[in-house]
Amino acid sequence: MSEPALTLRSPSARRRASRHRPAPETHDEVLVIDYGGQYSQLIARRIRELGVFSQLISHRAPIEEILSRRPRGLILSGGPASVYAEGAPELDLRLLELGAPILGICYGMQLLMHELGGHVQQAAAGEFGRAQLTVTNPGTLLSGMPDQQTCWMSHRDAVFQPPAGFRALASSPASPVAAVEDPRRQIYGIQFHPEVVHTPCGQQIISRFLDEICGCERTWSAASIVEHEVARIREKVGEGRAICGLSGGVDSSVAALLVHRAIGDQLTCVFVDHGLMRKDEGEQVVRTFRDVFEVPLIAVNAEDRFLRRLAGVREPEDKRKAIGEEFIRVFEEQARMLSGGGQEVEFLVQGTLYSDVIESGGRPGASTIKSHHNVGGLPDDLEFELIEPLRNLFKDEVRAVGLELGLPERLVWRQPFPGPGLAIRIVGAEATKERLHLLREADHILQEEVRAAGLYRELWQSFCVLPDIRTVGVQGDERTYGNVIVIRAVTSDDAMTADWARLPHELLEKIASRMMGELREVNRVVLDITSKPPGTIEWE
Ligand code: XMP
């Protein structure tokens, strides 16, 4: 970076961000010990949906860390290993001495059974997907549930014989022991996945574990999150000053509002309009924050500056780099001006989510790690102390907190939008003012129609792409040589995988005819039917 970083108030004002935070003291916590399972995060989410705080913790975490959290219960997650595989994660038997009830799921159950003297071995056939569960003895865990139910399985090994003291509760075609318990020792196990929607009784099982077995109090809610975070932020910031980069997305919006609720005008938000936003987005952000919430806001119209920087830039990664660098420069200038005004800014608010924390930390035992696109984010050497009020939250909780704080639904449910904005949707060409205008108008038609059809929230993202090609058409008896607009709409849970959305034909027809009727430069509209993988969501 060519310009000096912002000054520090004191060396102690360096970034201090621990990977995990203990549970807020007023909440019971159930820890999910992560053995690398595909659904580990989902287990924690399901527990939180039931009003109990939950976090993932690596199976490699020191036992003291688990002890210090004083969990009300432990869940041992699934994982890709076999208990017999070399290097497979092992069970720390001291977990059984903590006095907290334990529920093992899939690999977690096999591990418990194996270590405690039961018989686990590879079944003749693995079970993947839906399976029929027969409850033979509901015990405490499955009490009140149907004798026959569907469950979701994903395993090759199975438990054939539980250890002494355990009783088998259920079986499935390839799992002689699909659920077990030893209420005396407070150890429970299920071979199937209660956290996925394909196990209809799953949430009921988790709920029984939390209530009947762990005796948890359900105090975790959007209102309690706000209360707790506001108190924490106040304590941390004291009389200090904070700055927050607003992007218009839900994460930075909710983070800013939370911090504003806590410290009022000690927070200043900076909104850098790089001219690469969707239609009217900049005004909406300014109106919402400055006029409705009365948050001190500096809105910087930097369109010309970004366009100059993007002149002649065609390659996607070059665009990202140019935009990222320019963004940092503008942000730093603003922060420096604020500090130059006599009030030093010590804290930087960021909308980091719990899923970012998990992914960027990497998960031992897990087989895939998302690669991060943090372009438009801020560099590591900005010398602020971080405030990350969403660091413990999943996206759906962030939305709930946003609603609790009065953020308009339109903002709360805004689809994700990449930091480099429309520039990376102008494919193979430089992002000029004219191209951006055309793409923005096409995108606006798409968004209007998708919203009118009531489909906006069902889609992870819907947007247009403008490739650098022209095609021949005929309009009003005249030959045209115009632009092509690509419609991209996907469904996804987390952007790591995605499927193309099956938008109704009538809707597609309406969108296409509006684009070709209202946008003179467009003479062809096409639909992208690529899933991820093998494609990515964006074209660049
Ligand atoms: P891909 O295209 O990799 O995108 O399937 C996955 C998600 O990330 C978003 N995306 C970005 N976000 N800066 C961002 O802040 C970027 O450079 C960037 N590239 C892709 C994309 O919109 C999708 O939600």
Distant-in-sequence, close-in-space partners of 42: CB < 8 Å, separation ≥ 6: 195, 196
Question: How far are the Cα atoms of 19, 90, 204 from residue 94, in angstroms, in the given order?
Answer: 23, 12, 29
In contact, 73 and 214? CB cutoff 8 Å: yes
Please indicate whether residue 375, judged by its CB atom, sits closer than 6 Å to ligand 1. yes
CA distances to 229, 396, 417 from 467, rounded to whole Å, are: 44, 34, 19
Choosing from 20, 29, 59, 106, which is the catalytic residue? Answer: 106
**Same domain, yes or no, for 93 and 173?**
yes
Write down which residue in 173, 192, 213 finishes a domain.
Answer: 213
Q: Are 270 and 331 in contact (CB under 8 A)?
A: yes
For a ligand 1 pocket test, name from 272, 320, 373, 532 the mutation site with the most ligand atoms within 8 angstroms of its C-beta.
Answer: 373
Cα distances (angstroms) measured from residue 304 to each of 239, 300, 315, 460: 37, 11, 20, 31
Query: Is residue 475 classed as helix, strand or coil in its secondary structure?
Result: strand
> Same structural domain for residues 257 and 298?
yes
**Given 184, 213, 242, which residue is the final one in a domain?**
213
Domain assignment of residue 533, yes or no: no
Task: For residues 129 and 33, state if they share a domain.
Answer: yes
Q: Select which of 29, 127, 181, 195 is catalytic.
A: 195
> How many other C-beta atoms are found inside a 10 Å radius of the C-beta of residue 531?
14
Residue 392 inside a domain? The answer is yes
Q: Does ligand 1 lie within 6 Å of residue 351's CB atom?
A: no
Is the domain of 264 the same as that of 342?
yes
Nearest CA to ligand 1 atom 11: 418
272 and 350 together in one domain: yes
Cβ(428)–Cβ(468) below 8 Å? yes
**Reduced to 3 states, what is the DSSP secondary structure of residue 249?**
coil
Q: Which residues of the chain have pLDDT under 70?
A: 1-25, 359-382
pLDDT at 118: 95
For residues 261 and 341, membership in a common domain is answered with yes
CB of 127 within 6 A of ligand 1: the answer is no
Token couple for 519: 């946008």
What's phi and psi for 153, nearest 5 deg? Answer: -115, 155
Q: Give the CATH number of the domain where residue 482 resides.
A: 3.30.300.10
Statement to judge: residues 355 and 260 lie in one domain: yes
- CB of 395 closer than 6 angstroms to any ligand 1 atom: no
CA 337/CA 327 separation, integer angstroms: 16
Is 8 contained in some domain?
A: no
**CATH code of the domain in which 48 resides:** 3.40.50.880
- Catalytic-residue membership of 193: yes
Q: Whose CA is nearest to atom 21 of ligand 1?
A: 418
Domain tally, the chain: 3
Evaluate whether residue 285 is within a structural domain: yes
Does residue 241 share a domain with residue 372?
yes
Catalytic-labelled residue, pool 114, 155, 193, 274: 193
Please report whether residue 2 resides in a domain: no
- CA of 415 from ligand 1 middle (Å) equals 12
Q: For the segment 9-67, what is each residue's pLDDT rounded down to a tens digit?
A: 222 333 333 345 555 667 999 999 999 998 899 999 999 999 999 999 999 999 999 99
Cβ of residue 36 lying under 6 Å from some atom of ligand 1: no
Query: What CATH number is attached to the domain comprising 273?
Result: 3.40.50.620
Q: Is 150 helix (H, G, I), strand (E, B) or coil?
A: strand
What's residue 526's pLDDT? 98
423 lines ligand 1 (CB under 6 A): no
Q: Which pTM value belongs to this model?
A: 0.82
- Same structural domain, 271 and 162: no
- Domain membership flag for residue 418: no
Whether 179 is covered by a domain: the verdict is: yes
Structural domain ending residue among the three candidates 158, 181, 213: 213
Across the chain, mean pLDDT equals 90
- With a 6 Å cutoff on the Cβ, whether 163 touches ligand 1 is no
305-336 tens-digit pLDDT? 999 999 999 999 999 999 999 999 999 999 98
DSSP codes of every residue in 256-313: HHHHHHHHGGGEEEEEEE-S-SPTTHHHHHHIIIIIIS---EEEEE-HHHHHHHHTT-
Ligand 1 center to 416 CA (angstroms): 8
Nearest CA, atom 14, ligand 1: 418
Query: What pLDDT was estimated at residue 367?
Result: 40
Ligand 1 atom 9, closest CA: 418
Same domain, 208 and 234: no
Structural domain contains residue 63: yes
In this structure, the residue with its CA closest to atom 10 of ligand 1 is 418
Active site residue 106: yes
Q: Are 316 and 371 in the same domain?
A: yes
CA distance 17 to 15: 6
- Structural domain boundaries enclosing 81: 29-213
What is the whole-number distance in angstroms between the Cα of residue 418 and the centre of ligand 1? 5
Contact 205, 142 (CB under 8 A): yes
209 and 89, same domain (yes or no) = yes
